[in-house]
Structure 1
Amino acid sequence: MTTTCPEIIKAKPFLKWAGGKSQLIPEIQSVLSLKFNNYNDPFTYIEPFIGGGSVLFHLFKTFPNLEKAIINDINTDLIVAYQTIKTYPQQLIDALQNIEKEYYGLNNIAKKNEFFLERRNQFNQKNRHNNIDNTVLLIFLNKTCFNGLYRVNSKGLFNVPFGKYIKPKICDAETIWSVHQCLQKTTILNGDFEQTLQYADQKTFFYLDPPYKPIKTTSSFTSYTKENFGDSDQLRLKGFCDKINETNCKFIQSNSDVRNYDEKNSFFDELYKKYNINRVKARRNINSKGAKRGKIDEILIHNF
């Protein structure tokens, strides 16, 4: 077995991303073992909704013969961050150290809040800064906003309030360098998920982590782009999974389990009835009320 370099071994998400899949990795790994039981077999990995990248980094650490990866997301700010880390890691680290030092130097929470709001306003003025500056602001806001959320309004403006954190770790140089190493074998795309299919061959594994379908009608929707991901997109995604299956590629999709609040709701069970569906436990961590955070079922859909 090929030895994994120390930098990649330490790879992990550089952002706190709502719906991140770190907690589901053991379940995903269990399903993966059904297909990838020989860790020396080379393959291509495609993730059409990259988000925080938990599964991507896990696979780079677990499968030394992962030949290449293709990642995509419709969220331009997120993709710019991946591109910046791939190309300009040290410049990014230097800039993050500067903003971290400035934030730490503010001696009360009111001044930190004012600083946060200034940076949020600056972040929303997209045409005034380059990719490194945009990524610095994204990471800073992610580490200092409420609960590490990324949420935009209908105009595409980031609108998460201040998180009142005194001394969060804004510059994680080790993580940035480890992610940089992973991204050297990664093609980074910014657009609709369907464009990724053109990169597939018969030795390709897809992991799909789309914006989840709300599990009840009163669920508050957290938008990562100004365009929502509704039922029509869920149906289009199912058609995309069919195309993956027709090319003899393998996929796993994670999604919400709408039966958590309505046992008769068979939306996904009917939609994916020709595939395998596993129900797994996952913790909700982003509810504003701590008492409403807890474990609920999610689903893993796969074609092997």
Structure 2
Amino acid sequence: MTKPSQPRNIPEHAAPFLKWAGGKRWLANTVAQLLRNPGGNYIEPFLGGGAVFFEIECQAAILSDINKELINAYRVVRDRTDELVRLLCCLEIRKSLFNRIRREGCVDPVARAARLLYLNRTAFNGLYRVNQRGEFNVPFGCKAGTRLVDRNALVICSEMLGRAVLMPGDFRNPLVFAGPNDSVFLDPPYTVKHNNNGFRQYNETIFSWNDQIALAKIANRLAALGTRVVVTNAFHHEVVALYSKRLFQPYVVKRPTTIAANRSARGVCSELVLLSDSISASEGLRRFDVPVLVPLRHGAF
């Protein structure tokens, strides 16, 4: 594998250019503060919208996601920014064009990236979501005043992505390269709707229980090496039990849900955050004044 390129000058702060279901913008600052480590690589195998990566300002990174279209978009933003901007500037925001772009595929990498960004910007609630056949299935519905492209923002993202190796594929692949001096953020797909009712059943098609077991085994191994690891997951006792009590401290964080179209249907949910023992959690929380993480006490479930 090619190692991350030598770091360029750190650009001004970047922000995610995609809105992604399950994204961690709301927690990115906290995770970045706990994982920031100038001496090693930052590794994230469930990249999604990349909120933590853009927040952490690392010098070198290995980023991965099972969604090949997503990784292609990141590569195009990194390597072919101007071509992508020119193509997006030729597109208009209207329902008929949205439906045609949603229906039709394309082969060229830049066109594929433009398609993903266009659909993400103009779909209802700003989401990019596909069904089990890999077909985009969110209807048109962007807000008034939506901009398809912000060239300056993409250029900043391109600068930050210049420090990263981008790998499509299984979550296990990038974790092979993790060592004691590295920082790892693990944010597997999960739903919080069924934390206390049918958790395994409702998550099986999102991220199977066997995947959860495999991920926890890798996380435990890395934590034993001294790797700095943060895991976010569903707040469920069976998930907590997968992680070594000696190597991980569990926390619960409460946040408002934002995906429901009707604001009245949105509520508050609890999510699990696990910090490896190599992260001095109490020191970090005092130092950075992070109030959102509450230690999970024995017998909390």
TM-score (norm 1): 0.80
Matched ranges for 1:54-73 at <5 A = 54-60=51-57, 66-73=58-65
Aligned pair 1:279/2:279, yes or no? no
CA distance in 2, matches of 1:164, 1:11: 23
CA distance in 1, matches of 2:47, 2:139: 24
Q: Which residue of 1 aligns with 2:189?
A: 211
- State the secondary structure of the residue aligned to 1:254: strand
Aligned pair 1:44/2:49, yes or no? no
Contact 1:251 1:302 in 2 (8 A): yes
**Offset of residue 71 of structure 1:** 0.1
Q: Which residue of 1 aligns with 2:24?
A: 21
Aligned pair 1:119/2:101, yes or no? yes
CA distance in 2, matches of 1:245, 1:115: 49
- State the secondary structure of the residue aligned to 1:71: strand
CA distance in 2, matches of 1:183, 1:83: 8
Deviations 1:144-200 (A, max 9, x none): 101112221221111111115343111111111011001111000000011112322
One of 97, 101, 108 as aligned partner of 1:130:
108
Q: In the superposition, relative to structure 1, how do residues 273 and 178 fare at CA in structure 2: closer, same or farther (>3 Å)?
A: same
Contact 2:180 2:222 in 1 (8 A): no
- State the secondary structure of the residue aligned to 1:43: coil
Letter in 2 for 1:47: E
**Offset of residue 278 of structure 1:** 1.1
- State the secondary structure of the residue aligned to 1:199: coil
Q: In the superposition, relative to structure 1, how do residues 212 and 228 fare at CA in structure 2: closer, same or farther (>3 Å)?
A: closer
Contact 1:213 1:231 in 2 (8 A): no
Letter in 2 for 1:86: R
CA distance in 1, matches of 2:167, 2:26: 25
Q: Which residue of 2 aligns with 1:109?
A: none
Contact 1:10 1:175 in 2 (8 A): no
Contact 2:63 2:166 in 1 (8 A): yes
TM-score (norm 2): 0.81
Q: Which residue of 2 aligns with 1:76?
A: 68
Q: Which residue of 1 aligns with 2:148?
A: 170
Q: Which residue of 1 aligns with 2:275?
A: 302
Choose between structure 1 and 2: higher helix proportion.
1
- State the secondary structure of the residue aligned to 1:10: coil
**Offset of residue 229 of structure 1:** 1.2
CA distance in 2, matches of 1:162, 1:240: 40
CA distance in 1, matches of 2:39, 2:30: 22
RMSD: 2.4
Matched ranges for 1:147-162 at <5 A = 147-162=125-140
CA distance in 2, matches of 1:29, 1:183: 16
- State the secondary structure of the residue aligned to 1:150: coil
Number of aligned residues = 265
Between 1:23-32 and 1:184-193, the stretch displaced more is 23-32
